[in-house]
Chains A and B, each alone.
Chain A
């Protein structure tokens, strides 16, 4: 029911998440932000079981901040992703596993942009593009078709718009607005919210 998407370009990562916080059939909030800022150039997008998402994401967020305070420099996106995965894996076979699906997007000054796909079974994959949720079934093929490794920001936004259009056309749930953010060497930039008029 919730939707996350990330597209990595040659020097940026574009991410978007829907804005709905739902409880069974009711939309409790229409402007809910599912992105957590781990550091100046890393974003964690988190969906899954209620309560688990915020709890786990805030735990990772605070630990990443702690690393920075202790060591004087920030964790790289790859290190943060592996740290997150390790935590998911440790809790997986405990009494209280966290049922969360994540996308971690970041820009490393040394390695460039990176997008990491993680799911509740603590798998980790670095991918050029990724999506979570039922909406992923509809939009991954669009990404497969139109993605190229050297795409510009405009082209990435266009692919994102195409994905959102497809969701609005074929997905039974009404996801009418999406938070969009772009990460590059200058940090995290809030892009214009993607909203779609009533069908």
Chain B
């Protein structure tokens, strides 16, 4: 894989990204964790599909998001799901979010420098409460209240940071998640499609919605004029 990727590098050093371009976000608030992702999978400037699910349901209380190379994310997070299931069977209690993210981080570190491209958020609810861990192919592993990854993440941060309140109601949080993805997809050409949103509560996650981005944007703009 290293040799192949090297051969794809142009003189200017621009990498040939296989499937790249996403906006994903997640944040903790009073009533749990919101996870929202877009659904466009792009190969360079070609849109491979507009309905790609970038959230991997590891188990009923753990979710993983995908950004970077779709193949890498899908494979490694499925492997993580397998490891989490084995942990549950061997130890008779569910794996914590911290441990699951550490497992993924160590997998990434095992292939350090070999060209993996993964930017993932492992979100869930365990004994310690709600948890979000950002894990990427560099071996970064950060725990936090709010993260956004992908090419559109900068735009999402702007909307999230200005609209976030700790004591939001559930409806307000759903709206903030939607807004974050919609405004990011509007500005970033590599993000688009639909907003897939999940809400993680104490007893597991629920899928909230799957709204088309352009319809939502039209709805927001209509309110302006």
Residues on A facing B (Cβ under 8 Å): 21, 23, 25-26, 28-29, 32, 49-52, 54-55, 95-96
Q: Identify B139's interface contact among A28, A32, A54, CB under 8 A.
A: A54
12 further A-B contacts with Cβ under 8 Å, apart from A28-B144, A51-B112, A51-B138, are A23-B136, A23-B140, A26-B153, A26-B154, A50-B136, A51-B108, A51-B109, A51-B140, A55-B109, A95-B113, A96-B112, A96-B113
Which residues of the other chain, B, contact A23 by a CB distance below 8 angstroms? 136, 140
- Nearest A-chain residue to B154, judged by Cβ: A26
- The reply to whether B157 and A32 form a contact with Cβ atoms under 8 Å apart is no
- The reply to whether B154 and A25 form a contact with Cβ atoms under 8 Å apart is yes
Q: Is the interface of B mostly helix, strand, loop or mixed?
A: mixed
- Nearest B-chain residue to A49, judged by Cβ: B138
- Nearest B-chain residue to A54, judged by Cβ: B141
- The reply to whether B142 and A32 form a contact with Cβ atoms under 8 Å apart is yes
Q: CB of B190 within 8 A of chain A? A: no
Q: Identify B142's interface contact among A25, A28, A49, A95, CB under 8 A.
A: A28
A52 to B105, CA, bound (A): 11
- The reply to whether B113 and A51 form a contact with Cβ atoms under 8 Å apart is no
Instruction: Count contacts on B: residues with CB < 8 A to the other chain.
Output: 17
Q: Identify B147's interface contact among A28, A55, A95, CB under 8 A.
A: A28
Known: A26-B153, A26-B157, A28-B134. A21 touches B142 (CB 8 A): yes
Which residues of the other chain, A, contact B112 by a CB distance below 8 angstroms? 51, 96
Q: Which of A21, A23, A26 counts the most chain B CB atoms within 10 A?
A: A23
- The reply to whether A50 and B138 form a contact with Cβ atoms under 8 Å apart is yes
Which residues of the other chain, B, contact A49 by a CB distance below 8 angstroms? 138
Which residues of the other chain, A, contact B105 by a CB distance below 8 angstroms? 51
A3 to B222, CA, bound (A): 47
A26 to B113, CA, bound (A): 22
A55 to B108, CA, bound (A): 12
- The reply to whether A50 and B139 form a contact with Cβ atoms under 8 Å apart is yes
Which residues of the other chain, A, contact B108 by a CB distance below 8 angstroms? 51
- Nearest A-chain residue to B143, judged by Cβ: A29
A21 to B140, CA, bound (A): 10
- The reply to whether B139 and A52 form a contact with Cβ atoms under 8 Å apart is yes
Which residues of the other chain, A, contact B139 by a CB distance below 8 angstroms? 50-52, 54-55
